[in-house]
Structure 1
Amino acid sequence: MQHDRKDSTSPQPGPDTAVEELAQAADALFLAMRKARGRAAAAGGLSLSQLALLDPLASGDELPVSRLATTAGVSVPTATRMLQQLEGRGVVLRRRCPDDERRVLVRLTQEGTEQLTRLRDQRREAQRRGYASFTAAERTELAAQLHRLAEIIDGHN
C-alpha cells in the first residue's frame, strides 16, 4: 500500500521551482533593462538614470542639484557628475543660486528640452508597441505587479 505522506527519512524537497522561475524571470528583466540603458546611451541619447535626473526639469523650472538628486534616487556628488557631463553636451545649464552661493541651480537648455521631449516620446511609443502584445486585463495586472515589485525592491513592503 502506497502512502501519500512523506516519512522523516524522505529527502527534503529542492528549492521551490516557482520561486526560482520568478527569480530567473526578474533577473532576465533587469538584464534586459540594463542592455536597453546601454543602447540608449550608446546611441547618443540619455540613459534612464539621466532621464530620471532631468525629468523634474521638463516643466521648465530651475531646480537645485540636491532636489534633482533626491528625485532620481542618487547622491548629490553623483548627480553633480552627471550634470557636468550633460552640461558639456549642451543639455543643461548650471548656475550658482544668487541667494545662497553654496547651492547650484539647474535648468534645461532649449536643446535639452527638445532632446528630453523626443526621448520621452520615443520611449513611450516603444513601450506602447511592446505592451500591445498584452490584453488590457494583462496590462492592468502587470502594472499592479510591477508596482508591487518596485515596492519590494525599494524595501517598502
Structure 2
Amino acid sequence: MKKSPLSQQTRTDAGLASVLSVTVGRLARRLRAQRLDASLSLGQNAALFTLARHGEMTPGELAEHEKVQPPSMTRIVAALEERGLVRRTKHPEDQRRQLVDLTEEGREMVRADRRRRQAWMAQRLKELTPQEKDTLRRAAEIMDRLTQA
C-alpha cells in the first residue's frame, strides 16, 4: 500500500508541525466563518468566549488570559460595552478596579454562536467513520494539552 503524501510529510516533528499548523489554521478559519456576527473582531469574540467560560474578571486578567496588552483589552471591552454585550462594575474589594462580565445579550450571543459552530462541526463529523472519530477524540485531548503548554 502506497503512503499518502501527507503521511510522508508528518514522519518528522518538523513536518508534523507544519502540517498541523496549516490544518488547524484552515479548520479555525472554517469555524470562524460560522460566526453569527462577523462585525465583531477576533479579539472581541475571544473576550466574549473567555468571559462565558471563566466568568467575570478584571480587564487586566482578561488581557492576560487573551495574551494582549492591557490598552488593547481596554479598547475591546469598550467596544463590547458599547454594543451591550458586556458590562463593567466596581470591584467589591477595591473600588478603583473594575470587573467585566457578559450581559444577558452577550451570553445569548455566545450560546447561539457556539450552537451554530457545533452544528457545523457535527455535520462534518457525520462524514467520518467510527475509527476516524476515535482517532479525533484522542487527537483532541493531545491538542488541548498542546494549547495549555
Is TM (by shorter chain) over 0.5? yes
Which TM-score band applies after superposition, normalised by the shorter structure? 0.5 to 0.7
Task: State which of 84, 87, 99 in structure 1 corresponds to 2:81.
Answer: 87
Q: 1:144 to 1:86 in 2, by over 3 A?
A: same
One-letter code aligned to 1:106? V
Q: How does 1:33-52 map to 2 (within 5 A)?
A: 33=27, 35-36=29-30, 39=33, 40=35, 43-44=38-39, 47=42, 49-52=43-46
Structure 1 letter corresponding to 2:52: A
d(CA) in 1 for partners of 2:137, 2:68: 24
Partner residue, 2:103: 109
Quick check: which has more Rg, 1 or 2? 1
Residues 102 and 141 of structure 1: is their aligned pair in 2 closer, same or farther, counting only changes over 3 Å? Answer: farther
Residue of structure 1 aligned with 2:26, choices 32, 42, 61: 32
Cα deviation for residue 73 of structure 1 reads 4.7
Given the superposition, is the C-alpha separation of residues 97 and 35 from structure 1 closer, same or farther in structure 2, using an over 3 Å criterion? same
Residue 153 to residue 38, structure 1, CA distance change in 2 (3 Å)? closer
How far the C-alpha of 1:107 sits from its partner, in A, is 1.8
Q: In the alignment, which of 125, 129, 133 is matched to residue 123 of structure 2?
A: 129
User: What's the CA shift for 1:105?
Assistant: 0.8
RMSD across aligned positions (CA)? 3.4
The equivalent residue for 2:5 is none
Identical-residue share of aligned pairs (%):
27
C-alpha distance in 1, partners of 2:69/2:63?
A: 6
Greater relative CO (CA pairs within 8 A, separation 6+): 2
The whole-number CA distance in structure 2 between the counterparts of 1:60 and 1:143 is 24
Shift of 1:27: 3.1
* Alignment match, 1:53: 47
Structure 1 residue 60, shift from structure 2 partner: 10
- Note the residue ranges of structure 1 that are not aligned, 5 or more in a row: 1-15
Aligned residues: 139
- 2:90 pairs with one of 93, 96, 107: 96
Cα distance in structure 1, aligned partners of 2:124 and 2:67: 27
Q: 1:143 to 1:74 in 2, by over 3 A?
A: farther
CA distance in 2, matches of 1:112, 1:73: 21
Match of 2:58? 64
TM-score normalised by length of structure 1: 0.64
Tell me if the contact between 1:53 and 1:71 (Cα under 8 Å) persists in the aligned partners.
no
> Post-superposition shift, 1:96?
2.8
